[in-house]
Structure 1
């Protein structure tokens, strides 16, 4: 009877913790990391804006920019390489200038090279050309963000994009599952803390609090270990994120059975 309202309260707090991690944490983490990077370590922004000699791998192509203007809407000395599924070059576009306007990239003064059946590579020059690319100037605003700077859906889309580009997204998938698993630490701690507090008689509240803090540290340690194992690929992302919850929940249920009715 005492445990039931505590469980309901812990579930409510877990949902609240998840919402905070989705709404508040990404913004504050992003701001803290930006201050640390620019003001403390004196490093430039992670944006591509204003940089030279940029390589970027898209879903269907690889881009090279001689220089991307600080506005992000103008690129100089652009090359776009399109590849087939077996990574054979099927099209290449070189242009002196690329300008983002009206939702598309407009190329100027360039050459297009195409692989045509029975003819091999055929080239033609152009003064102007409009190409439809999935990337917008906003795409190049951030090279890579830390998982804590993204909410669940942003991290999910980012992991999917990394996979589509042929990279290993295991780390992001592990952290994606942890975003769901970690808020339930409240429920897990109630399952363990309740029977522990019932069993502790000598020392009273101070001992119970000390044990609770110790269990929290142990939980975080186990979660860190399973997270690292997940990064290595030994455990699947889902299991590496939820294993700590599973272990401590089973322990909590077992301890509850030992409490006198």
Structure 2
């Protein structure tokens, strides 16, 4: 490996590690002071608090990697430009595209690492972190979720939900069982669908059974629509369902097949599936953009400016990515286009910057 390649690789890794450590440290500190009171009220030790925070670190790292690699590339080339090292290298006949090779290779390595982290480490760590937060801190043991089936235990009420659509705040295949003080079933509601509208649950295609205490028989009635007061809100369901980011690629595919086989809409999960493959590639794109910006002559005296520029670019990418994903959820874009649109836009931007960098 040429000396310049070794130098670039070492320096980029060094500044990436510094940036990552700083950002993760700040996030963990803020999260600690925000949640430490909850852990103390639950009677948990500091070691349990730190265990929870450590389990969240892989998820934080996965979100920070693209920004970290972009800023590291900008800082390294910015310092080289400030010290006239780039001018000296260009004067000796070295093209800026020569610098691109090690940077792109690093981008590929970081992309592979990000995919591995998101696929293998994050689902396991977040599952344990959520279990600590929900079961031990929030004491929400009455709500149980296993992939898709949700069981909710209330005050002499047990509710079962087959599927929850978070995008539309809708539940499917809902069964509500009401019991008396002797735990005898006195009322049962079966509904094909329920939608949360204006702080009320509207149930559709309802079959209702009520116990007649005189003859101990159940009276059955049917309703097209029924307004029912339930002891849970959409936010309660969101906290317990297993989110796409908490599933591995294999788990998400199996989940999509299962809910589609049962006739439910899996559009949002398909968007998330394609996003799992699209998001890691942003590391390569950020390396291209960072190199193209940093090797320009204009940034020689403005290192703080290009760092601010890098943060701005990362922010714009995140807005574009989130917007396209939202369009995919709303079925305005196909899942694969929604997941890859932001990458394609910023890839074109990176290529244009590199073409005009000389």
Q: Does 1:216 align with 2:314?
A: yes
Q: Does 1:147 align with 2:222?
A: no
Q: In the TM superposition, what is the alpha-carbon distance from 1:54 to its structure 2 partner?
A: 5.1
Correspondence for 1:182: 279
Q: Does 1:257 align with 2:330?
A: no
1:230/1:237 contact within 8 Å kept:
yes
Correspondence for 2:334: 236
1:159/1:169 contact within 8 Å kept:
yes
| Structure 1: tracts of 5 or more residues without a match | 68-142
Distance 2:330 2:152 in 1: 36
Distance 1:33 1:41 in 2: 10
Distance 1:149 1:238 in 2: 20
Residue deviations 1:114-162, cap 9 Å, x none? xxxxxxxxxxxxxxxxxxxxxxxxxxxxx83111110111011111111
Count of aligned pairs: 186
- 1:145–1:252 distance in 2 versus 1, CA, 3 Å: same
Correspondence for 2:263: 166
1:15/1:183 contact within 8 Å kept:
yes
Distance 2:137 2:160 in 1: 28
Q: Does 1:3 align with 2:100?
A: yes
Higher relative helix content: 2
2:108/2:283 contact within 8 Å kept:
yes
Q: In the TM superposition, what is the alpha-carbon distance from 1:40 to its structure 2 partner?
A: 4.7
Distance 1:229 1:246 in 2: 16
Q: Does 1:23 align with 2:23?
A: no
**Structure-2-length-normalised TM-score:** 0.47
Distance 1:229 1:242 in 2: 12
Q: In the TM superposition, what is the alpha-carbon distance from 1:204 to its structure 2 partner?
A: 3.4
Q: In the TM superposition, what is the alpha-carbon distance from 1:38 to its structure 2 partner?
A: 3.4
Q: In the TM superposition, what is the alpha-carbon distance from 1:63 to its structure 2 partner?
A: 10
- 1:248–1:223 distance in 2 versus 1, CA, 3 Å: same
Which deviates more from structure 2 when the two are superposed, residues 144-153 or residues 193-202?
193-202
Distance 1:233 1:50 in 2: 30
2:159/2:176 contact within 8 Å kept:
yes
| Structure 2: tracts of 5 or more residues without a match | 1-97, 164-172, 179-239
Matches within 5 A, 1:61-210: 144-199=241-296, 200-210=298-308
2:152/2:158 contact within 8 Å kept:
no
SS for the counterpart of 2:144 is coil
Distance 2:108 2:272 in 1: 21
1:159/1:173 contact within 8 Å kept:
yes
Distance 2:107 2:277 in 1: 15
Please report the RMSD computed on the Cα atoms of aligned residues, expressed in angstroms: 3.0
